[in-house]
Amino acid sequence: MTMRVRFAPSPTGYLHVGGARTALFNWLLARHEGGTFVLRIEDTDVARSTKEAVDAIFAGMRWLGLDWDEGPDIGGPYGPYTQMERLDTYRTHADRLLESGHAYPCFCTKGELDAMREEAQARGEAFRYTGKCRVLSSDERTARQSAGEPFVLRLKVPSEGETVVDDLIHGKVTFQNAVLDDFVLVKADGVPTYNYAVVIDDATMAITHVLRGDDHLSNTPKQQLIYQALGLPMPRFGHIPMILGPDKTKLSKRHGATSVTAYDDAGYLSDAMVNYLARLGWAHGDDEVMTRDELIAKFGVEGINDTAAVFDQAKLDWLNGVWMRQTASAALVPHIRPRLEKRGWLEARHDEAWLTKLVDLTKERARTLEELVAYANFFFDTAIAYQEEATAKFLTPATRPILAALAERLPATHPWTPEAIEAVFRALAEELGVKAGAVIQPTRVALVGSTASPGMFETAYLMGPDLVRKRLSGALGRIPVGV
């Protein structure tokens, strides 16, 4: 049997980090096993589901490179792949449950349910539906339905025995049926509840394996009871422990950007994010840096940890830096260009070759694309910040002759190459009887505002003669006269 897995988000917000990891684990499992990866939209929360959220989910999945084989936008043999388009399917199976006696209509009003809840609270017990409508005669049920009395559909849950979930990650987990109540399958408006719809969807879409967050583990015994009542084949379940923030609480907005597209905006590479998310709760030996192909080859459910993972921003930054350094500079240019355009820094001379060289010179010092762009600001005709200590040490009356000579000679250098620029520096150092560093350091501060930059000759070359002249003149203007 071909493995079929699914990712089934609710379109009530963006694709967050936890959901993205769940999608990734399912995608990796399908690709590793040569199976099918299904994307299904669970939009039965009608009040909160939006098209914008669906679009955001698609955007997040596409940025991560998680392509799906069947889904709302591309169709497939088991569609439709959006729950609110599947209401007829839910009704058909609900009728089967009623006919077989595994479900019953419940006419209890909100007021009656609230009273039951208050009584349970007074006894210090968790609320469980009392089964009031379970014992109604068939004649009374028919009469109340004929009268148009609203009702929900509940599953008859065995009052004794136990339901065992044979979980791929946690092993066998046992639930006592006595603590489960006759839960609702279909609401009064005909919309199915999560636990019912997900069973019908997974069964009719021939899903063989369900990997999802362990916050769903408590739902699984209920779902297994529905499978059993309908006589449907059950998928294998695996519940992935949640992701915690550094403070060991559930990951949330207060821990930083949790939307995967927010990480795109912040300058993270999708390859790095996929690599990081895969390692967030899954391991293959001591492997850390892995390509998608390597992840697909090595992934298995047995490598998923059974304890919660902690989101480590520093490790993500480190890993993204590794990916930036090992990615060809030309391949990073399409990611860098829009960030520069947004800042209004690009000029006609900043062609593909120039931008590739810029990335070459700067990517070793950056952990994100945004850091790279911020660090590279001195290569553009923008205001730069001069470090106070560097200015006091290197922009002095003693260095004025050096900077003045370079302001005259460097812009006239021809051809404008790193080698020719280096020759100007060394000739001036020899002429002044000083080491090359005595010429390079004050010039570096004059051109970039600090004592740290890529190689001086490559930096000046990439700046171009006009910007070099402008920066040297500006630095000379910062040196006190007559001191």
**Known catalytic residues?**
253
* Residue whose C-alpha is closest to residue 407's, from 481, 475, 482: 475
3-class state of residue 381 by DSSP: coil
Please give the Cα distance from 5 to 87 (Å, whole number): 22
Q: What is the token pair recorded at 67?
A: 């392509």
- Report the distance separating Cα 351 and Cα 355, nearest Å: 6
- Give CA–CA dist 191/104, Å, rounded: 16
Q: How far apart are CA 236 and CA 282, in angstroms?
A: 19
The 3-state DSSP class for residue 149 equals coil
Closest CA to 465 of 403, 416, 430: 416
Give the start-end residues of each E strand in 11-99. 36-39
Distance in angstroms (rounded) separating the CA atoms of residues 47 and 85: 16
User: In sequence order, which residues have a C-beta less than 8 Å from that of residue 368 and are 6 or more positions away?
Assistant: 266, 267, 268, 317, 320, 321, 324
Question: Do 243 and 280 form a contact (C-beta atoms < 8 A)?
Answer: yes
Residue 267 region by backbone torsions, left for phi larger than 0, else alpha for psi between -120 and 50, else beta: left
First to last CA, the chain: 86
Contact predicate 122/82, CB 8 Å:
no
> Cβ atoms within 10 A of the Cβ of 34, count?
8
Q: What is the C-alpha to C-alpha distance for residues 27 and 25, in angstroms, rounded to an integer?
A: 5
Buried b (16+ CB within 10 A) or exposed e, 363-382: beebbbbebbbebbbbbbee
Buried b / exposed e over 60-96, threshold 16 CB at 10 Å, is bbebbebebebbbeeebebbebbbeebeebbeebbee
